[in-house]
Amino acid sequence: MQRAEFIIRKIKEGDFYTIARALTQVENQLPEADAILCQLMPNPVSKVVGITGPPGAGKSTLVNAILHFLTKNEMKIAVISVDPSSPFNLGALLGDRIRMADYYLNPNVYIRSVASRGSLGGLSAHIIEMLEVLRAANFDYIFVETVGVGQSEVEIAGIADTTLVTLVPEAGDEIQTMKAGLMEIADIFIVNKGDRKNADDFVKNLKLLSHSKAGVWEIPVIKTIASEEQGIEEVIHAIESHQVFVNRNQDRKLEMYAMKAFQLIQHKRMKDVAREDLKIQIRKKIEAGDFNLYQFIAHY
């Protein structure tokens, strides 16, 4: 218990080494993970921002440009980049994050690449727990960049306070097919690579769509050229405006906490369920000639 208290204190102080060790504990569900998580208290200042969108939309370049803008203003930033997994060791394939290399030694920036490990939602299985560690530290912003697998990335909306959906002008023909998935989770639309042909027409059409689906929050559509850091200040202002809206809108916050609680309860209850054990038991049932899948589940 004393060791967990020491870890919590160092996390609050913003010690990157301790934060890294704690993230490893909770990501891999090591023995100290529960003791750490039960004592964490989130910093109310920290803003969790999800950045999602299809492959090639320039998510990493956008994060890099945002980092450059925020660090000039002496803000402390954490970035979790969820990468595809190696099929051999389940490690992150893009862990070096070349575009963000300039910030690895910056004392105000903490960057962590994690593997999706087969998760279909574009996130790592224990991303919620990892975010709780970061939210207990003294970061102003925590950015979560997802794998980029398309419509299945909608679970980002359940863990981020603000979700940015990043698109490119060429996505214009795909809007109607995307509308039921990725398009439904946006708090802010980013049209990146805005110097490309038809970018203005795409922005105009997207504004019509976003206006038609907006509720109390009027969803902004922002054109950026992230590689040249154009439009980044407008993106930051939109995030800050949405954070004010989230803080005032308790229904939205309660919905997010309920979703997080539901996911954590699921993970907890499935902790002792091993697929190989299930296969062994099912094989025995089949060989005995009395296997019924739904009876098996009901009595498991």
Q: For the residues of 221-274, what is the DSSP string, one character each?
A: EEE-BGGGTBTHHHHHHHHHHHHHHHHH-HHHHHHHHHHHHHHHHHHHHTTT--
pLDDT at 72: 92
* Position with higher pLDDT, 296 vs 117: 296
Least confident of 50-54, 71-75, 99-103, 273-277: 99-103
Mean pLDDT calculated for residue range 98-114:
80
pLDDT band of residue 77 (cuts 50, 70, 90) is: very high
pLDDT at 101: 65
Handedness of CA 17, 19, 20, 26 (dihedral sign): positive
Q: Is the pLDDT at 263 greater than 80, yes or no?
A: no
Scanning 28-105, the segments in alpha helix (DSSP H) are: 33-39, 59-72
pLDDT tens-digit profile of 146-184? Answer: 876 544 456 677 778 899 999 998 876 556 555 555 667
State the burial class of residue 230 (Cβ atoms within 10 Å of its Cβ: 0-12, 13-18, 19+).
middle
Res 185: pLDDT = 80
pLDDT of residue 152: 45
Given 3-state DSSP classes, what are the helix, strand and coil percentages for the chain, each rounded to the nearest 5?
50, 15, 35
Task: Give the separation between CA 23 and CA 40, rounded to whole angstroms.
Answer: 13
Please report which confidence band the pLDDT of residue 139 belongs to, taking 50, 70 and 90 as the band edges.
very high
The domains located in the chain, with CATH, are 1-41 (no CATH), 42-252 (3.40.50.300), 270-298 (no CATH)
By the 8 A CB rule, do 24 and 33 touch? Answer: no
Here the tokens at position 254 are 């309660």
Q: Among residues of the chain, what percentage have pLDDT more than 90? A: 39
Cα distance between residue 190 and residue 57, in whole Å:
9
